[in-house]
Amino acid sequence: MRGHLFTRRAALRTIAAGTAASGIATASGGVTAGAAPAAASNPDGVCVLFPQAVEGPFYLDPKLVRSDITAGRPGLAVTMRLRVIELGSCKPIANARVDVWHADAGGVYSGYANQGDARNVSTKGETYLRGTQVSDADGFATFQTIYPGWYPGRTPHIHVKAFLDTKTLLTGQIYFPDEVSARIYRAHPAYVARPNADTTNATDFLYKSGARDGGGIVLAIDEGREPLLASLVIAVDRSGEAARRTGSWRGWLDRITGRGA
């Protein structure tokens, strides 16, 4: 590492800062240990495991392989470009299945009942803002979506799962800069009815629970593009050991609240 010692937390901060400063790496050329191909690289020789997080109560698999997951939902258009790389070698992982899902501008997920601020909204049978892509030869998976809204008790976020064959390599949550969310919620017509999120990254218990692995991971945002560009590198453990440690939604919640081992 050229004489530099990175803690996991420091390395993650460096990834986020480098990505924000440089934009997104192009799809030409792979990521290798010691190389720094524009934004989607780690610090020299360092590939830090993306923090595992619970999938939450709103996961379903509609088996929709699609890049555009908006399904007509109103909101600020976002191109989200994720790059899947291997822990240790920093090499891109091709042909990984990447699932993403998130709430709409009003903070409501597709496919479930008892949502909304009054818990009276049902979206059963709908599949908006969910989809699957397979990473290309350089590890990239790209989605056309909208900026997620907030719902009580959670900071704005996007859920992600990565699979190699039938094995879950990663279950995690991706976050947004608080100041970007605040600007969008105050200005964009799809969000102005609920402009003040009740939870920020600093106060979100799931965001903070990743502290042992470096904290919540925030997308690099380029607001100078239309659609807005959100980008992130995701380093995964091919063995799946980290995913197995995360466990189920209930078991994970018990552990972080002290009710379990």
Q: CATH code at 149?
A: 2.60.130.10
- CA–chain centroid gap for 138, Å, is 19
- Is residue 201 in some structural domain? yes
197 pLDDT exceeds 60? yes
pLDDT, position 57: 86
pLDDT, position 116: 92
Q: Which residues, at least 6 apart from 10, have a Cβ–Cβ distance to it below 8 Å? A: none
Q: How many CB atoms lie within 10 A of CB 146?
A: 25
195-204, 221-230, 237-246, 251-260: least confident range? 251-260
What mean pLDDT is predicted for residues 170-179? 93
Report the relative pairing of strands 140-146 and 157-164 from DSSP bridges: unpaired
- Is residue 246 in some structural domain? no
Domain that holds residue 226: 8-241
pLDDT, position 210: 64
Q: Give the residue from 140, 20, 158, 159 showing the smallest Cα distance to 83.
A: 140
- Is residue 254 in some structural domain? no
- Is residue 261 in some structural domain? no
- Is residue 231 in some structural domain? yes
Report the relative pairing of strands 140-146 and 77-86 from DSSP bridges: antiparallel
Do the Cβ atoms of 58 and 107 come closer than 8 Å? no
Number of domains in the chain: 1
pLDDT, position 17: 35
Q: For 215-247, what is each residue's pLDDT tens digit? A: 578 999 999 988 999 999 999 988 777 666 655
Q: How far apart are CA 162 and CA 237, in angstroms?
A: 10
pLDDT, position 33: 31
Q: How far apart are CA 184 and CA 193, in angstroms?
A: 12
- Is residue 247 in some structural domain? no
Q: Give the residue from 58, 102, 98, 67 showing the smallest Cα distance to 249.
A: 58
The residue type found at 159 is: H
Which DSSP string do the residues of 220-235 spell out, in sequence order?
A: EEETTSSSEEEEEEEE
Q: For 110-133, what is each residue's pLDDT tens digit? A: 999 999 999 999 999 999 999 999
188 pLDDT exceeds 70? yes
- Is residue 178 in some structural domain? yes
- Is residue 258 in some structural domain? no
Q: Which residues, at least 6 apart from 52, have a Cβ–Cβ distance to it below 8 Å? A: 170, 171, 172, 213, 242, 243, 245, 246
Q: For 29-58, what is each residue's pLDDT tens digit? A: 233 333 322 333 344 445 778 888 888 889
Do the Cβ atoms of 176 and 232 come closer than 8 Å? no
